Amino acid sequence: MRISKFMTPEIIFGSGSINQAGDSLRRLGAEKVFVVSDPGVVQAGWVERIIGYLEACGLQYHLWTDVTPNPKDDEIDRGVKEYVNSECNAVLGIGGGSPIDAAKAVAMLSTNAGNIRHYEGVDQISCPLPPMVMVSTTAGSGSEVSQFSIVTDTKRRLKMTIISKSLIPDIAIIDPDTLVTKDARLTANTGMDALTHAIESYISLAATPLTERLSLYAIQLIATYLRPSTASRSNREAKEAMAMASLQAGIAFSNAVLGAVHAMSHQLGGLLDTPHGEANAILLPYVMEYNYIAAPEKYGHIADAFGEHVADLSPSEAAKRAVKAVKELARDLDIPESLAKLGLKEEHIRKLSQNAVQDACMITNPRDMNVEDVEKIFRQAL
């Protein structure tokens, strides 16, 4: 077995766990906290509630919410200036992938000089970051436990993938209660993002026995609970299961990395500002079909995790069941069926494909891909 390492933050999971935010930051030596969130999370009431826990612990804070879906490099630049001017010494991210990725990027540039583009790729960060606590509210991105930060380069119109163990938060807080304020569309999109994390990390070239167990269990939970979680905001059992699935998939992909689905969806998000989970959901079956020959046995395990009966099937037939199960789940959740519905046009495909093969997530895709291969998949999904 090759040498591997497995990294996670301290994890606090469970109903009511957001009340640990203030104490968690206190334990890390925080005095004034830079709180990063977005308007939607503020409107849902979670930011005000968590700030109350900070105040109860005697912590000062500065709130910054200038974050859009698919956070942009210019937003991060403004956030860093606010962090420095507010004289904070710790970072708290509250929300889904966008606020948490933005919080990590601000923390990174607060102690590492230069432009954010200098840190694109793997292990480009040299200086330690301030203490970071992340509170997840979406059950999808997994960013609260990962070594990833994804930020849009507005000049090149692509998403930069920044990967470093320095980006792993010190403490991650996952409270399933926060999921009750999500609408059905966001629940579906983030759930399909978590499913993509689980499947891509499971078949990744960097997968290990530790990550594989987490990936498979996350697939099983999502297959069972994403539909009821999308159907009802008040289904507490489904919310808790989806929070756990997202957590496990997040730990898995943080350590095993991802694959072609994310390499491609990052480009769509950078160019068209598409919802990340929707783009993943549309691309996932097509990439699974392409990757099948690289991991046929694992596809049978994926189908089994979906509850498909595959014991008497050939690897090829089992793989088809896995792809079918993913398509049926997306259809039940009213995910758009084509990338054209997200704004993709034929003239975009060549440039998107050229960028995708350079994305760091492509390194661990189990089957080699060149620009022409990526173009073909984009056209299939168009």
What's the confidence (pLDDT) of residue 301?
Answer: 96
What's the confidence (pLDDT) of residue 198?
Answer: 98
- Same domain? 274 vs 170: no
Q: 189 and 348 in contact (C-beta within 8 Å)?
A: no
- Same domain? 201 vs 172: no
pLDDT band for position 85 (50/70/90)?
Answer: very high
Q: How far apart are CA 179 and CA 188, in angstroms?
A: 12
- Same domain? 164 vs 313: no
**Percentage of the chain with pLDDT > 70?**
100
pLDDT band for position 2 (50/70/90)?
Answer: confident
In a domain, 113, yes or no: yes
Which of 167, 343, 358 minimizes the C-alpha distance to 271? 343
Answer yes or no: is pLDDT of 158 > 70.
Answer: yes
- Same domain? 324 vs 349: yes
pLDDT band for position 1 (50/70/90)?
Answer: low
Q: How far apart are CA 279 and CA 320, in angstroms?
A: 21
- Same domain? 126 vs 256: no
- Mean pLDDT, residues 298-323: 93
> For residue 16, what are its two tokens?
């009511």
Q: How far apart are CA 144 and CA 149, in angstroms?
A: 10
- Mean pLDDT, residues 233-241: 96
**Percentage of the chain with pLDDT > 90?**
94
- Same domain? 35 vs 147: yes
SS3 state at 168: coil
63 strand-pairing partners = 35
- Same domain? 151 vs 220: no
> For residue 26, what are its two tokens?
């206190």
- Same domain? 24 vs 161: yes
Residues 6+ apart with CB under 8 A from 12: 20, 24, 171, 172, 173, 174
Answer yes or no: is pLDDT of 92 > 70.
Answer: yes
What does the pLDDT look like over 208-225, one tens digit per residue? 999 999 999 999 999 999
130 strand-pairing partners = none
- Mean pLDDT, residues 36-60: 96
pLDDT band for position 311 (50/70/90)?
Answer: confident
- Same domain? 144 vs 20: yes
Which of 285, 308, 139 minimizes the C-alpha distance to 222? 139
What's the confidence (pLDDT) of residue 80?
Answer: 97
| Backbone dihedral region for residue 95 (phi beyond 0: left; psi -120 to 50: alpha; all else: beta) | left
Residue 16 domain boundaries:
10-178
Average pLDDT along the chain = 95
In a domain, 3, yes or no: no
- Mean pLDDT, residues 151-162: 92
Give me the helices (H) in the chain, please. Answer: 21-27, 39-44, 46-56, 73-86, 97-111, 184-203, 209-231, 236-256, 260-272, 276-291, 296-305, 315-332, 349-356, 371-381
- Mean pLDDT, residues 291-304: 95
Q: Which of 178, 195, 212 is the last residue of a domain?
A: 178
> For residue 124, what are its two tokens?
């480009």
- Mean pLDDT, residues 159-174: 96
Overall pTM > 0.85? yes
What does the pLDDT look like over 187-198, one tens digit per residue? 999 999 999 999
- Same domain? 17 vs 66: yes
In a domain, 1, yes or no: no
Answer yes or no: is pLDDT of 43 > 70.
Answer: yes
Instruction: Give the number of domains in the chain.
Output: 2
- Mean pLDDT, residues 142-153: 95
- Same domain? 132 vs 196: no
Answer yes or no: is pLDDT of 238 > 90.
Answer: yes
What does the pLDDT look like over 170-189, one tens digit per residue? 999 999 999 999 999 999 99
